[in-house]
């Protein structure tokens, strides 16, 4: 019996031993190099965030781990810092969460409503409304940053969550996305719904919203990451440290690293960067397929 199984595995081995295709090896080599290019920098930052600040100041980024991981992350999360000693990592994390979720949810609700109105109603000024909304695609916030800031100031909305979130919603990306999707929904659906006596509100809530679930998920991921990673706008609109988001806080950290006369808190700064990276990265990784779908289909 053993002989038979031996010859069997041997023959299997023999079949499996094909000549190595060097082009395939080359493909993998290129991909591995690419993966290293993308992953290694973040990994090194993570590994270094477990080191003592003196060691980091002396030798820079590390490949291996050390024993200061808990200390650095504890400091980053709970040690109050800044000029007023009011802000710590956990507060910034909460602010980032509020910005990320508030922006994504607000944007989805507002743009779905607008897209529904534009696509499903016979409205005399629908085309006008469409163009009014779509002109906003032309001007990213970065271009009109100063006047937007003045507007927020005069409305007394500086250093508030609504001041942080609402102006970011004022662009048409979401509306454009849902408009394209609604237009691809079969016409018969709305006809059938009307024959069955469903009004516009019922049709929207009971049919269209459930139908758009995947689209909503996809756009939620993109918008969450977009909101979380906002930098310029929070930098301008939040001057109180208790309103800082993590990404906004990075500037403060680097300033600390540059300016301090003492040995800078490298470990803590790197730990905070990792904390700022983790939530959006996890969302992108877990909902990869929706994310890719949302990203690549939004351009059509």
Partner 1 sequence: MKRAGFTTVWLPVALLLPQLSIIAIFFYWPAGWAVQSSFYLQDPFGFGSTFVGLDNYTDLGRNTEYLRIAWFTVIYTCLVTFFSLAIALLLAVKADKVIRGARTYRTLLMWVYAVAPPVAGFMGIMFFDQRTGPITDLFQTVGSDFKLGVNYTDTATAMVIAAVWKQIPVNFIFFLSGLQSIPKSVNEAAIIDNRSATGRFWQVTFPLLAPTTFFLLIINITYALFDTFGIIDTLLKGEPGNNPMTLVYKVFLDGFRGNDLGGSSAQSVILMVLVLILTVFQFRLIERRIHYT
Residues 137-166, interacting with partner 1 (CB under 8 A): 137-140, 142-148, 150-152, 155, 166
Tally Cβ neighbours within 10 Å of residue 270. Answer: 26
Note every long-range contact of 88-95, with CB atoms under 8 Å and residues 24 or more positions apart, other chains counting.
89/246, 89/249, 89/271, 89/272, 89/275, 91/242, 91/244, 92/244, 92/245, 92/246, 92/248, 92/249, 92/272, 93/246, 93/275, 95/243, 95/244, 95/245, 95/246
Q: Out of 99, 104, 108, 114, which residue is the one contacting partner 1 (CB under 8 A)?
A: 114
Q: Six-digit token pair at 123?
A: 């409205």
Residues 242-261, interacting with partner 1 (CB under 8 A): 247, 250-251, 253-255, 257-258
At 237 the three-state DSSP class reads: helix
Question: Which of 7, 194 has the CB closer to partner 1?
Answer: 194
- Is 97 a binder of partner 1 (CB under 8 A)? no
Question: Which of 2, 142 has the CB closer to partner 1?
Answer: 142
- Is 263 a binder of partner 1 (CB under 8 A)? no
- Is 68 a binder of partner 1 (CB under 8 A)? no
**Binding span for partner 1 by CB under 8 A among 6-14, 76-84, 85-93, 119-127:** 119-127
- Is 71 a binder of partner 1 (CB under 8 A)? no
Residues 189-228, interacting with partner 1 (CB under 8 A): 190-191, 194, 199-201, 203, 225, 228
Burial 50-83 (b: 16+ CB within 10 A, else e): bbbbeebbeeeebeeebebbeebbebbbeeebbe
Select from 295, 289, 164 the least CA-distant residue to 223.
295
Residues 7-36, interacting with partner 1 (CB under 8 A): 23-24, 27-28, 30-31, 34-35
| Spatial separation of the C-alpha atoms in residues 251 and 271, rounded to whole Å | 14
Q: Out of 98, 117, 158, 211, which residue is the one contacting partner 1 (CB under 8 A)?
A: 117
Question: Which of 159, 235 has the CB closer to partner 1?
Answer: 235
Question: Which of 94, 292 has the CB closer to partner 1?
Answer: 292
């Amino acid at each position: 019996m053993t002989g038979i199984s031996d010859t069997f595995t041997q023959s299997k081995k023999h079949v499996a031993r094909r000549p190595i295709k060097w082009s395939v090896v080359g493909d993998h080599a290129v991909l591995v190099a690419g993966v290293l290019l993308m992953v290694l920098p973040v990994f090194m930052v993570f590994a270094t965030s477990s080191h003592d600040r003196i060691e980091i100041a002396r030798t820079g980024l590390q490949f291996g781990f050390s024993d200061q991981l808990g200390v650095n992350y504890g400091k980053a999360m709970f040690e109050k810092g800044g000029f007023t000693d009011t802000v710590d990592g956990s507060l910034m994390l909460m602010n980032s969460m509020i910005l990320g979720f508030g922006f994504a949810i607000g944007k989805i609700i507002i743009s779905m409503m607008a897209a529904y109105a534009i696509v499903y109603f016979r409205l005399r000024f629908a085309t006008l409304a469409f163009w009014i909304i779509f002109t906003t695609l032309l001007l990213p916030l970065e271009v009109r940053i100063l006047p937007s800031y003045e507007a927020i100031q005069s409305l007394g909305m500086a250093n508030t969550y609504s001041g942080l979130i609402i102006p970011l919603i004022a662009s048409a990306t979401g509306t454009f996305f849902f408009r394209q999707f609604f237009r691809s929904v079969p016409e018969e659906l709305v006809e059938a719904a009307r024959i069955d006596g469903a009004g516009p509100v019922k049709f929207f809530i009971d049919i269209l919203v459930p139908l758009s679930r995947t689209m909503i998920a996809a756009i939620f991921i993109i918008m969450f990451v977009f909101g979380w990673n906002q930098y310029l706008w929070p930098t301008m609109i939040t001057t109180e440290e208790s309103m800082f988001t993590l990404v906004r806080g990075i500037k403060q950290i680097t300033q600390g690293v540059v300016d301090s006369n003492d040995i800078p808190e490298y470990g803590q700064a790197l730990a905070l960067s990792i904390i700022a990276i983790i939530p959006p990265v996890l969302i992108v990784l877990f909902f990869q397929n929706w994310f890719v779908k949302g990203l690549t289909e939004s351009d059509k």
